[in-house]
């Protein structure tokens, strides 16, 4: 009877090892596919324009509603 339980344990261990390997390979393939299919636009150097900070409406007079 002891040999039967050893074989059952070995079979279970093989099944779990196979499942982990299959999951790893699946995740690896998905990650590799997503990484290679991701398209990055071309990068060009240009001046930074921060419209929020360069706007005249953010002057202290405008924020306090003071006419100058």
Q: Which pLDDT score, from 0 to 100, does residue 11 have?
A: 95
Rounded Cα gap, residues 60 and 68, in angstroms: 11
List C-alpha distances in Å: 56 to 5, 8, 61, 64: 81, 77, 10, 13
Give pTM, 2 decimals. 0.49
Per-position pLDDT tens, the chain of length 68: 778 989 999 999 999 999 999 999 999 999 998 888 887 767 777 766 655 555 556 667 777 776 65
């Amino acid at each position: 009877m002891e040999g039967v339980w050893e074989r059952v344990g070995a079979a279970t261990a093989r099944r779990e090892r196979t499942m982990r390997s299959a999951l790893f390979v699946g995740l690896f393939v998905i990650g590799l596919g997503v990484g290679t299919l991701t398209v990055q636009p071309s990068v060009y150097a240009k001046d930074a324009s921060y419209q929020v900070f360069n706007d005249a409406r953010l002057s202290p007079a405008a924020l306090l509603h003071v006419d100058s």
